[in-house]
Structure 1
Amino acid sequence: MTSRKWVNLFLTTLLWGGLITLFVSFFVQNEHYVTAFNPFSIWEVIILMLMYLGLGFIFSVISQMAFFAYLTVHQFGLGMFRKLWAPIQIVLILFTLFDLVYFRYKAVSGEVGVASFFVLPAALLLFGWAVAYLKSKETNSKAFIPALFFMVVITSVELVPAFQADDSDWVMLMLPAVLFCNTYQLLVLHRLNDGETKAEAVQASNTPKKGQKKKKNRKKKSKR
């Protein structure tokens, strides 16, 4: 990937993360906006919007750091474990889903029913499955498990700060931005790489080889 495309990907993902967090904040943190509107204070509203926009930028940066870290880990896993890398990722996906239920339930010491803790892992698995299906359909079937691993395991790791805050509002605020940024990067990366590959192929086809150049020069000399 060229530096120009990487910068465009970074800025676009950054903008999406900020806008999504800002939009979600109107529903998750609506009491803050109610306070700003009653009595109405334009400066307080602007400060609130800038704060959530900046918070979305942070969520986006976390997502992008995790994405490029995963690309490195994925290549390392392929090189070290080879055919075992896919089963290892499946085990890690199952372990992560179990953690999202068990450890979150254990943290509240049984004050809430365990059934409610299945909602987030189930939603994350279904969403990740859909994204992985699209990724494999646009590339190849081998991309399904890595894409599902990224959407489930890496997203869960990114949400650790929100889980540690022990506030559902922070999870609801961070989750949409992180999910969208992860999905966007995952589905757009191969398109950027395919675009570069096609451009290189066109450039190579338009560039005459050394043997062809010599033949053309000989033909020109014979005509003279």
Structure 2
Amino acid sequence: MNLRKYGWLFGTTLLVGGIGGILAGFIVGRADLFDGGVGNFLIATFMNLLFGLSISVLTQMGFFAYMMLNYLAQSVFKSRGLWRNIQILLILFTFFDFVYLRYSLGVQGDSLWPYFVEPSVLLLVSVIAAYAKVRLTNPTAWVPTVFFLFVGTTIEWIPALRENAYSAIFMAVPLLFCNIWQVLHLQRLVKADPAS
């Protein structure tokens, strides 16, 4: 990947994050957007855009942190199958923690089942995106894509998960937009240019 390709990824991910922030504002903050005049609508939309842009920078840091982790793990674990199995265990561990830790911090006597919603939806989105990635590349992309999209997004999502459902959904939209965008475009960026 050269500087031009990185610049393209950075710029387009910013754009995708901004769009995700505006869309998240329409999904969860519709009442606030339309609860005033045109000025209120424009300022609220601009703030949602800035939020999405800042989330996109967070996702880019997470993406490059995962790429470094993946590179180091493949160097340490010579067997590709071992690193794949470790990623699968970490996906399962993250799913368990996602449910259990939020349940243990919730109101005593709550049902456990509502705490399965967010991790199950995130895992489903991760699997669908991994299917698209496999169609674009090869079958070995399944586990790394699900790992990055599920575990990486969960780690980046922690600040909003500690708040309320409004914050969680508001942050989830640009997070997923950016992470899916990056993972689906990576193979295009690491290919060698025919001219070089």
Q: Do both proteins adopt the same fold according to a TM-score greater than 0.5, normalized to the shorter chain? A: yes
Structure 2 distance, partners of 1:122, 1:44, is 36
Which letter does structure 2 place at the counterpart of 1:47?
I
Pairs aligned (count)? 194
Larger RCO: Structure 1 or Structure 2 (Cα < 8 Å, ≥ 6 residues apart)?
2
Secondary structure of 1:82's match? coil
Q: Where does structure 1 lack aligned partners over 5 or more consecutive residues?
A: 201-224
2:167 to 166, 170, 181: 170
**1:10-36 alpha-carbon deviations (Å, 9 max, x no partner):** 111101111121122122012312332
More helix by share: 1
TM-score (norm 1): 0.82
SS at match of 2:194: helix
Task: Tell whether the 8 Å contact from 2:24 to 2:171 is kept in structure 1 after alignment.
Answer: no
Percent sequence identity is: 38
| 1:88-132 CA-partner distances (Å, limit 9, x unpaired) | 111100000011111111111335321111111111111111212
Structure 2 residues without counterparts, runs of 5 or longer:
none
Separation in 2, partners of 1:138, 1:131: 11
Alignment map for 1:76-87 (pairs within 5 Å) = 76-83=72-79, 84-87=82-85
Of 131-140 and 46-55, more deviation after overlay is shown by 131-140
| Structure 1 residue 197: Cα displacement | 4.0
Q: Which residue of 2 aligns with 1:7?
A: 7
Structure of greater Rg:
1
Map of 1:159 onto structure 2: 157
Q: How far apart are the structure 1 equivalents of 2:55 and 2:109?
A: 30
Shift of 1:145: 0.9
Tell me, yes or no, if structure 1 residue 47 matches structure 2 residue 47. no
Alignment of 1:50-199 (within 5 A): 50-83=46-79, 84-164=82-162, 166-194=163-191, 196-199=192-195
For residue 118 of structure 1, what is the amino acid of its counterpart? Answer: F
Q: Aligned partners of 1:4, 1:57: CA distance in 2, in Å?
A: 20
> Is residue 35 of structure 1 aligned with residue 35 of structure 2?
yes
AA aligned opposite 1:92: L
Partner Cα distance (2:173, 2:61) in 1: 17
Does the 8 Å CA contact 2:21/2:48 hold for their aligned counterparts? yes
Instruction: Give the partner amino acid of 2:128.
Output: A
* Partner residue in 2 for 1:205: none
CA distance in 2: counterparts of 1:197 and 1:12, whole angstroms: 20
Q: Give the secondary structure class of the aligned counterpart of 1:159.
A: helix
92-101 vs 74-83, which moves further: 74-83
CA distance in 2, matches of 1:46, 1:115: 39
Partners of 2:101 and 2:150 in 1: how far apart? 16
